Amino acid sequence: MFYFLMYDVVFFIVLILFFPFIWKRIKPEKEYPGNWKERFGIYGKKLKKGKRKRIWFHTVSVGEFLSITPLIEKLKKFDIVVSLTTKTGRKVAESKFSDIKYIFFPFDFYPVMLKAITSVKPDIIVIVETEIWVNLIRLARRKNIPVVMINGRLSPRSFRRYKKVRFLTKKILPHLTKIAMRTEEEKEKLIYLGAEREKIGICGSMKFDLAYQLGKTVKPEEFRKSLKIDEKQKIVIFGSIHPEEETNVAEITKEIIEKYPEWTVIIVPRFLDRSKISSILNSFNLPFVKRTERKENFKILVVDTYGELNNFYSISEFAFVGGSLNGWGGQNPIEPIAFKKAVIYGKDNWHFFAEWKEIKKGGGGIEVENYQQLKENVFLLIENEDLRRKIGTAAYKVLLKNTGATEKNYHLIKQFL
């Protein structure tokens, strides 16, 4: 009880000290006028409950939400509420399903979370990935609401952070009803933090299932025709590139264009609002076209739209997945392998370390330590079609081997409904 009280005291102090900064993120705006109210657990009549049993899914942002879309499809007969932390995540979620309810996740402060749980009235709470919210979990336990964690992950970085508050995780993790972790290694880490061994199962990563489904829905030939790219042109994708990686990517792009005239380079920035790739390409005197300009006959395309990355992966020969050479921890390396594409990935890959470990172990990707190695391996794959195909085929086998987590998590949740 003492630790929980101290958690609330610290949470309240942090909330007060940083409220001016927090307010900028939660203040009312045209798109979400009730943003700030929802952060304090005030949802009004939008969550009125009918006869159907209700599932409350909590996901942080876009990636976590997208990973559960196949699972939501299987559970559509139930009343579903999805909470998200970011506005970007909520926008994407609302574009996927219009017949479920969305809320912003409330502050994990005892009176706020009590009000939120009382308003939502869930029959089960499903936490996606390893989000250890103290008051959410203990209040649900007090109200006899099952709390299930699915797609559980513990990157080396997050494990180091949680170890610092192990005195608290040892008190709260036993309150979880069931836990589905991605790997045996992560299971043992969570047990060290205080989870009960008998409650934990291994279900794998649902991101493989999502990628498999997306691979079946994208139509590469039609997309390529819409871009009017000549069939003889081969494409390399630099996907989800972070601002810190852009200059080096531009340098490599310049060499590709000069050495390999039959190749087209497509660059997809991760953060459009922060990207400087256009000005960097201009500084290298490299002519390029933006996706929104809808022009033809380009050698370099900068994608300044959201939601098309998988389409671009599908028409490439291979891809470098960004956020992996700047200390960020990597973006999703699974998306390209759904289209049998070889993947190059940087050493900073802890966000997807379990998935990347499987891909690398299966021979479906190349890991690089720095930009020099990135350039060397880009040129290697450009010059070796057989190697591209070999790695791409191996990558797809890894995908097929690792599907099935959605079905396992479906049965796990269903037993409580």
Query: Given this model, what pLDDT does residue 100 score?
Result: 94
State how far the Cα of 64 lies from the Cα of 352, in Å rounded to an integer: 12
Q: Would you kindly state where each structural domain of the chain is located, as residue ranges?
A: 25-43+52-205+403-414, 217-401
**Burial profile 68-99: b = 16 or more Cβ within 10 angstroms, e = fewer:** bbbbbeebeebbbbbbbbbbebbebbeeebee
Query: Given this model, what pLDDT does residue 264 score?
Result: 97
Helix (H), strand (E) counts: the chain: 21, 14
CATH topology of domain 217-401: Rossmann fold (3.40.50)
Place of tokens 């994608």: 303
Query: Given this model, what pLDDT does residue 249 score?
Result: 98
Query: Given this model, what pLDDT does residue 25 score?
Result: 83
Query: Given this model, what pLDDT does residue 71 score?
Result: 97
Query: Given this model, what pLDDT does residue 61 score?
Result: 83
**Burial profile 215-244: b = 16 or more Cβ within 10 angstroms, e = fewer:** beebeeeebbeebebeeeebbbbbbbbbbe
Query: Given this model, what pLDDT does residue 168 score?
Result: 94
* Cβ-contact 117, 145 below 8 angstroms: yes
Length of the chain: 417
State how far the Cα of 126 lies from the Cα of 74, in Å rounded to an integer: 15
State how far the Cα of 225 lies from the Cα of 222, in Å rounded to an integer: 5
pTM for this predicted structure = 0.89
Mean pLDDT, 10 residues at a time, the chain of 417 residues: 86 90 83 87 90 96 90 96 91 90 96 97 96 96 97 91 95 98 96 98 95 93 91 94 97 97 96 93 96 90 92 98 94 96 96 92 97 98 98 98 96 96
CATH topology of domain 25-43+52-205+403-414: Rossmann fold (3.40.50)
